[in-house]
Amino acid sequence: MNNTAKKSVLCDLVSRHSAFDFDHYIASHEPEEYDIWNGFCLPMEYTAPADEYQAIRQSCALFDASPMKKIRIKGAEAGAFLDRILTSPVSQLPWMHAAYGLICNEQGYLIDDGIVYKYNDTDYLLLISELDLHGHFAKYNDFTDLFIKEETENLAGLAIQGPKSCAVLQQFGFTDVEQLAPFELKYFQLAGQQVLVGRVGFTGDLGYEIWFSPEAISTVEQAIVNTEQAMQITLPGYGLSALQMCRIEAGMIVPGWDTAGSFTDVIDERTPFELTLGWNVKAERDEYFVGKQALQQAKVIGPRYKMKGIKVNNKSILAEGQELFALVDNIEIQVGHLPSLVWHETEQQWIGFASIKSSCVDINDTYVIDKKTREAIHCCLHQLPFINLARRNQTPAPLNGNR
C-alpha cells in the first residue's frame, strides 16, 4: 500500500459490500487517482460511478465518513466558544439536534465548514473536513470552562443515503427512525451497541449518518448483511465521483474545492455571500464572532462573485478550475471560472459550478475551451441547486422511495 494512504476503520466493511479490493486499488493507482482525507484513502469509485450514483438516487448506498475530523467540545462555555468561531450561533439549538456551520477568518473568507451536533448545553461534537481547530482558534479561546479534544479515532461513521435509507434503518431495528426531522439526532441500540443516528447527509437526498464505536463495526456489518437479505437489496459503497455528482446537483459547497483555500491571494478566496451560503451568516447578532466586521461590510458592499450551476452537453475535455468566457461587443472576456466540475455518467454531460464576476452574472451566452482541441464549447448556466428532492426533508421520512 502507498505509505501516504491509510485505511479507515470502515474501509474493509465498505469494500466487502462493493466487491472492492482496496489494497489492489492503491497498488495499481497513482496518488492523484484517489483522494487523501485527513491521512485516509478515499477511492474515487468502488464499482462504476454511474452505478453508485443510481444506487444513491434510486435505492440506498454507503459512504465511509470515518475520516471526518471530529472535535469534542465540552464545558459550560462550549456553546459560547462555538458561537464565536461560527458565522451562525448554535448555542440555542435544542438538545440532540445538529446544524450546518461556517468558519471564516477575520477577513470574512470561508476557511472550512462542518456539522455541529449538540447533545446538551455543555456537550457538542464538531465534524469538520480539514481545519486544525487548536491552531486556527487558540487566540479566540479565552474561556475557562471549556474542554476541547479530537476524537476522530474514537468514532466510526457511515453515511446511509438514498430513498430507501430510512427503510434500511428501520430494518436495523431502529424503531420510529422515520420520525426524525432533518438535523435531528437520536441514540438507538443495535445488538447491545449504542449507535447515534443523525438525519444529515451530503447528497441532497433522503439520508442519515450513523456513528458508533469501532468495537461495534462487526455488529453494524451484520445488520447490513441481515438488511440486504431481508429487503433483497444490495447496499454498495460509493466513492468521490458519485458523491461529486450528487453534491453538485444539490448545490453543496466544499471549502478548499470551491474556494482556493491557500489564502495566498484573496482574489481566489470567497466569502459565504459569494458561495450561495449567505443565509448562514448572522451578521446582525450582537456578540462578536470571527469575521463579523468584514462580513457585515461584505453584505453591504455586495459580492464580487456569484455562484451558478453549469452544464456542458458535450464530451469535450474539460478540467476543474478552467476559465469561463463570453463575447461582449465581439470581444472575448473572462467572466469567471469553474471551481468544481464532474462528468455526469447518467446524464452524459458535464455539470459543475461557475464562479462568475458579479458584473457579468447576467451574461448567459458563455463558453469554455476544450483542453485538447481548443474549440469553444457552449455552456448552459443554471440557478442552484440543480435538484430539490422533497423526500430529503419530508417528515415522517418516506419508506417507499417517493420523490
The domain that contains 320 carries what CATH number?
2.40.30.110
Are residues 193 and 44 both part of a single domain?
Answer: yes
Residue 115 lies in a domain: yes
262 pLDDT more than 90: no
170 pLDDT more than 90: yes
Q: How many CB atoms lie within 10 A of CB 240?
A: 19
Query: pLDDT tens digits, residue range 363-388?
Result: 989 999 999 999 999 999 999 999 99
- The angle formed by the CA atoms of residues 167, 171 and 176, to the nearest 5 degrees, is 70
Q: How confident is the model at residue 31 (pLDDT cuts 50, 70, 90)?
A: confident
Are residues 159 and 233 both part of a single domain?
Answer: yes
Q: How confident is the model at residue 1 (pLDDT cuts 50, 70, 90)?
A: very low
Q: Of 210, 238, 266, which residue sits at a domain end?
A: 238
DSSP state, 144?
A: S
3-state DSSP helix/strand/coil % of the chain, to nearest 5: 25, 30, 45
Q: What is the mean pLDDT of residues 144-156?
A: 93
The torsion angle over the Cα atoms of residues 240, 245, 250 and 255, rounded to 10 degrees, is 40
Q: How confident is the model at residue 55 (pLDDT cuts 50, 70, 90)?
A: very high
Alpha-carbon span 2 to 19, nearest angstrom:
21
Query: pLDDT tens digits, residue range 185-216?
Result: 999 999 999 999 999 999 999 999 999 999 99
Residue 134 lies in a domain: yes
Are residues 339 and 324 both part of a single domain?
Answer: yes
Residue 393 lies in a domain: no
Q: What DSSP string describes 113-138? A: EEEEEEEETTEEEEEESS--HHHHHG
Residue 330 lies in a domain: yes
pLDDT at 38: 83
* Whole-number average pLDDT of the chain: 93
pLDDT at 95: 98
Residue 119 lies in a domain: yes
DSSP state, 398?
A: P
146 pLDDT more than 60: yes
Count of domains forming the chain: 3
Are residues 159 and 34 both part of a single domain?
Answer: yes
178, 249, 310, 349 from 316: Cα distances, Å: 43, 20, 14, 9
Q: Please tell me the pTM assigned to this model.
A: 0.94
Residue 217 lies in a domain: yes
Q: What is the mean pLDDT of residues 287-291?
A: 95
Are residues 92 and 221 both part of a single domain?
Answer: no
Alpha-carbon span 219 to 205, nearest angstrom:
26
Give me the CATH number covering residue 138.
3.30.70.1400
**Mutual angle of helices 165-172 and 217-231, in 10-degree steps:** 110
Q: How confident is the model at residue 4 (pLDDT cuts 50, 70, 90)?
A: low
Are residues 114 and 190 both part of a single domain?
Answer: no
Query: pLDDT tens digits, residue range 312-343?
Result: 999 999 999 999 999 999 999 999 999 999 99
- Residue 135's domain comprises 69-153
Q: What is the mean pLDDT of residues 284-293?
A: 95
Are residues 102 and 163 both part of a single domain?
Answer: no
pLDDT at 402: 55
42 pLDDT more than 90: no
Are residues 56 and 130 both part of a single domain?
Answer: no
Alpha-carbon span 349 to 378, nearest angstrom:
12
Are residues 313 and 210 both part of a single domain?
Answer: no
Q: Indicate the pairing of strand 349-357 with strand 331-344.
A: antiparallel
The strand order across the sheet containing 147-150 reads 97-104, 110-120, 123-128, 69-74, 147-150
Q: What DSSP string describes 179-240? A: GPPTTBEEEEEETTEEEEEE---SSSSSEEEEEE-GGGHHHHHHHHHHHHHHHT----B--H
Letter string b/e over residues 5-22, b meaning 16 or more CB atoms within 10 A of that residue's CB = bebbbbbebbbebbebeb
Give me the CATH number covering residue 213.
3.30.1360.120
Residue 351 lies in a domain: yes
Q: How confident is the model at residue 83 (pLDDT cuts 50, 70, 90)?
A: very high
Residue 345 lies in a domain: yes
Are residues 97 and 233 both part of a single domain?
Answer: no
Q: Of 153, 169, 199, which residue sits at a domain end?
A: 153
Q: Of 184, 203, 238, which residue sits at a domain end?
A: 238
Are residues 159 and 51 both part of a single domain?
Answer: yes
- With pLDDT > 90 as the criterion, what percentage of the chain qualifies? 82
Q: 55 and 236 in contact (C-beta within 8 Å)?
A: yes
Are residues 177 and 140 both part of a single domain?
Answer: no
Q: How confident is the model at residue 132 (pLDDT cuts 50, 70, 90)?
A: confident
133 pLDDT more than 80: no
